[in-house]
Structures are given as C-alpha cells and as structure tokens.
Amino acid sequence: MNQFELSAECLTPENYREQLRDPTCGGFSTFEGWVRNRNEGREVLELEYQAYEPLALKEGSRIVAEAVLRYGASKAFCIHRVGDLAIGELAVWVGVGAPHRDAAFAACRFIIDEVKHRVPIWKKEHYSDGNSGWGNCEACVEQAANHRAPSSRRA
Amino acid sequence: MNQFELSAECLTPENYREQLRDPTCGGFSTFEGWVRNRNEGREVLELEYQAYEPLALKEGSRIVAEAVLRYGASKAFCIHRVGDLAIGELAVWVGVGAPHRDAAFAACRFIIDEVKHRVPIWKKEHYSDGNSGWGNCEACVEQAANHRAPSSRRA
Amino acid sequence: MARRKLRIEYFAILRERAGVDGEELDTEAGTPAELFAELSERYPFPEPDRLKVAVNDEFSDWQAPLADGDFVVFIPPVAGG
Amino acid sequence: MARRKLRIEYFAILRERAGVDGEELDTEAGTPAELFAELSERYPFPEPDRLKVAVNDEFSDWQAPLADGDFVVFIPPVAGG
C-alpha cells in the first residue's frame, strides 16, 4: 500500500481501514472530504478534480511520511479522487493509526491540511447558475486581469 | 439513530458512516479506539468493558449533543462496546460530519475525550502474566488501602 | 431514626470487592456519603474521594437526601474508550 | 542565443486559458520565469506571483536554468480536498 494514491474510481474506506489495522495501535483517526452542495453561497451541482499526477503522488507521499515521523504515528494513508464527482461523493480519505489518540488526531489533521496546500490537485465547481470555476484559481486570474488593465491604458 | 449507543456486538463502522452522510457536510472526522496488545508496558491478552447502562446512555448522549452545539457540527454519533473484546477489536467509534473540517475534527476530539472522562464504563484488562485490573480503578483502591493501614494501626 | 429501603448496584472494582452485583439494604443512612461509609465497614472499598455517585440513574451530590426506594450506584474512576 | 526544446503541460485554469493540454516549444527562455513571461504574451495567464513551477516532475525555482528536453508545469493555487 503506497502512502498516497490518486483514484479515478469511487473511494472505498472500508478497504483502506482494513489495511491500516495494527495491534500496537490504540487510536485510529480518519478524515473524509465530501463534495458539498454549496460553496461560498453558491449551489454546486457537481465538480471535477484534475491532478498533475507524477508530482501529486510524490508530494502526497512526502506529506504522509512527514506526518508519521513528526507525530510518531504507526500507519497512515491518504487517497484523493480525480475526475468528475457528484454531490455527497468522497473526494479525499485520510486514515492514521497510532499508539495513542493525540498522535492519531494530530497526524490526520496535518495530512489533510498539507494535502490541501501542497499537492497539485485542482477543483472545478459547476454551479446551478450555469457558471463554473477553478476553485481559488479564479481570484488570482481576476487579480492579474486588473493588473494588466491599467498597464494597457498606459501603453 | 440515537446519538450515543452501547453494543454487546462487534461494531460496524460502515453502517454508522452511511447514516451520517449529509450533502451539507464537507468534512467528516472519525475516531476509533482499538484494543491494544500492550498497556503501560504490560502485555494485554483481552479485555472486558462493563457499563452502568442507563446513566452511560444519558451521559453519552449529552456529550454528543454538547459537541454538536459547541462546534456547529451537523451530525454526530458515538457507540461503545461492552463485554469481552479481543486484541485489535474496535472498542469505541466516533463520527462527526460538519460543513468544514475544523468543526468536524474538534467535535470528534471533544466527544472521545469527554466519553473517556464522564461516561460510566470500566475496562478490565487481562494480562499475559495472569493478572488483571480494572483500568485506573486499581490505583485509587491501593491509595485507599494505604490510607486505611495507618488508621488501623492507630485503632 | 428514620430507616429506608435502598437498592444498590455495584460495578467494576466495587463489584469485585462486594462480591455481589447488587443488593437491597434497609438502612438509616440519609445521604450517599453515609451509605458509602456504612458499606465500607463491610467491604474493602476505596476512599470515596475519587468516586462519584448516581441516584436513580442521575449523577447526585454526596450530601443529597436519600428517599425510600432510591436506586444508588457508586461510580469508580471511569475508563472507557 | 541558445535555444532549447521544452515540453509544457497545462492544468486547471492555465489549460483553459491556453486552450491546449500541452505543447512542445522551441524557445530562448533560459528559466521558468522567462518561459512564463513568453507564454503570457500568447495566453491570458495570471500573474506568476501566486503560481509555482515544476521542472521534470519536481518543484523548481523560477530562476533555475532550463535544459534542452526539460518538462515544465506551471502550478496555479491548488485546491484539493
């Protein structure tokens, strides 16, 4: 079992959980990210995850290994969906087993936080008003457009 | 689904998880307590959980309700095993769904911490050296024995 | 002095020390504290300072008055999870 | 001036703006920063300050020298989970 995987198929938590079982572990913490029907006030119909796979796999595995080392966890695994997802579908699953619950919770939280910041995966939301957007990419593009506008006027 | 339950049968996380699914939730955090093969340096062969059921159910439900209110979680559930458990078996399961992951993690952690402190459930560990003990009950009994000894001498 | 009939159930270390799951008691004890002191004469129970008490399936004060027919449970330090 | 053949792949908003998944480029750009500036002349790309860059499937500095045959990916703000 690799420490970080990408999947174009529906995620199957019971399988990952089974593979993390360990008689030295007293605590096991999981986090699941589900596709919500709303984001920032807009109704979401479905979404799409795109990944730069070779680097996502490397960076994701580094994060899981860091979490294990930093918190003294025994076993950890994270898997992220790619492709089209419906509302309520599982987008990401993290599971960590550790001797005690402090380490299990802390390592699980570390992994999901770092994955969201560091792994090259992008989310495109499709809204009920017909619009769609690439998560927080849109803001930076608008910002760039605003930067360009004045310089065009100056030219 | 009650918010807190006791079970003499093996716990079934996939069922609880399924019942907590909610399209308004973006984050779902679980904690599982597994029976470890060691505790405080001693090899554990099996253990037994005993509960004062009517009060355990009341206090457990209060804890889950408090967590939902305090952290703005959407759904939460906790179930605890009673009876004889083997190494690796699931002793307690907590699951919390919330709009965002901060609330899901915090409420899940709150529930397991409070359950361990407030719900009248006791654990008897059976060790490989033939001894057994009622969790942290033994220490207080020894302390009491020490208190009584001097007073007996005075009597 | 007033006497009352109480029902008591034991758990964990208290059950082991008492040697019974529970019992009915005809007693002059008017509070859980007095009841526990009376039982401690018969059984090698721990000091009550780390214990809690429940009356009729709710946590109770050690000094709350007991009524005839009350159901009392002494709660050693819990260890769930 | 030295020219080099680079392979570029686009993701997310950059793929939409470029209108292609990727391309081969024969260019004088010697660093990812120079390459991005060149591409920004052709496509309505965002400012590079919130982007990262990877060369040959590892994160790279914007000023690292590019070699012939390098594979370059510009990484807009990620949004997994």
Examine the pLDDT at A149 and tell me if it is beyond 60. no
Burial environment of residue B99 by CB neighbours within 10 A (0 to 12, 13 to 18, 19 or more): middle
- pLDDT per residue, tens digit, chain C (81 aa), is 689 999 999 999 999 999 999 999 999 999 999 999 999 999 999 999 999 999 999 999 999 999 999 999 999 999 877
Examine the pLDDT at B146 and tell me if it is beyond 60. no
Is residue D62 domain-resident? Answer: yes
- The encoded tokens of residue A128 equal 């009920």
Provide the shortest C-alpha distance from residue D12 to chain A (in Å).
6
pLDDT at B153: 36
> Which CATH number covers residue D27?
3.10.20.30
Is residue C66 domain-resident? Answer: yes
Residues D8-67: tens digit of each pLDDT = 999 999 999 999 999 999 999 999 999 999 999 999 999 999 999 999 999 999 999 999
Strands B75-81, B90-98: pairing is antiparallel
- The encoded tokens of residue A88 equal 């309520």
Is residue C11 domain-resident? Answer: yes
Closest residue on chain A to D54 (Cα): A55
Mark which residues 28-87 of B lie under 8 Å from C by CB: 33, 49-52, 54-55, 58-59, 80
Examine the pLDDT at B152 and tell me if it is beyond 60. no
Q: How far apart (Å, rounded) are the C-alpha atoms in residues A27 and A104?
A: 6
Q: Nearest by CB to B52, which of C16, C47, C75?
A: C75
Structural domain containing residue C8: 4-75
A52 with D54: CB under 8 angstroms? yes
Instruction: Give this complex's ipTM.
Output: 0.89
Q: How far apart (Å, rounded) are the C-alpha atoms in residues C16 and C10?
A: 8
Is residue D81 domain-resident? Answer: no
**Binding partners of A (≥3 Cβ pairs within 8 A):** B, D
B29 with A30: CB under 8 angstroms? yes
Per-residue DSSP letter, C40 = H
pLDDT at B154: 35
What is the total count of domains within chain D? 1
Q: Which residues of D touch A117 (CB under 8 A)?
A: 78
The three-state secondary structure class of D71 is strand
Is residue D56 domain-resident? Answer: yes
Q: Which residues of A touch B29 (CB under 8 A)?
A: 29-32, 108
Residue ranges and CATH numbers for the domains of chain B are: 2-147 (3.90.1170.40)
Q: How far apart (Å, rounded) are the C-alpha atoms in residues A117 and A95?
A: 18
Is residue C80 domain-resident? Answer: no
CA distances from D22 to A53, B15, B123, D16, D41 (A): 15, 44, 61, 11, 16
